[in-house]
Amino acid sequence: MDISRHEQRVLHVLAQGGKIVALKSEAGKLIGVECFNRDGWLMQQCTLPLFKKLRTKKAIASSNGHPYRITRRGLELARSEFDNR
C-alpha cells in the first residue's frame, strides 16, 4: 500500500519516538491534532485529515487515553531510512 509524502514524514517522526496528541472539545468530539517529535517540537504537517488517514490504515493507535503512537503496521508502511531508531 502506498502512502503519501506527508504521511511518510509523520510516520518517521513517530518511529523516532514522537507522539500525536488528539485535541477534543468539551463534548468529546475530535477538533484537532498536534504532532510532536521526540525533542518536543511541534510538527505542522500533521493535519486532521492526515491523522484520520493514518488511523484508518491502522498505522497509529492510542491505548488507555495516552497519545497516539506508531503501530507495527505503521512501521511496515514507513520506508526505512538511515536515521530511524
Domain count, the chain: 1
Instruction: Give a yes or no: residue 85 inside a domain.
Output: no
pLDDT of residue 3: 86
Q: Is the pTM of this model over 0.95?
A: no
Instruction: Give a yes or no: residue 82 inside a domain.
Output: no
Domain boundaries, position 53: 5-77
Instruction: Give a yes or no: residue 51 inside a domain.
Output: yes
Instruction: Give a yes or no: residue 46 inside a domain.
Output: yes
Instruction: Give a yes or no: residue 84 inside a domain.
Output: no
- Tens of pLDDT, residue by residue over 5-29, are 899 999 999 999 999 999 999 999 9
**Does residue 83 carry a pLDDT above 70?**
no
Instruction: Give a yes or no: residue 43 inside a domain.
Output: yes
- Tens of pLDDT, residue by residue over 23-82, are 999 999 999 999 999 999 999 989 999 999 999 999 999 999 899 999 999 998 887 656
pLDDT of residue 81: 59
The residue that leads in pLDDT, 47 or 1, is 47
CA gap 83, 85 in Å, rounded: 6
Instruction: Give a yes or no: residue 67 inside a domain.
Output: yes
Which is nearest to 68 in space by CA: 35, 44, 40, 39? 35
Who contacts 72 (Cβ-Cβ below 8 Å, separation ≥6)?
none
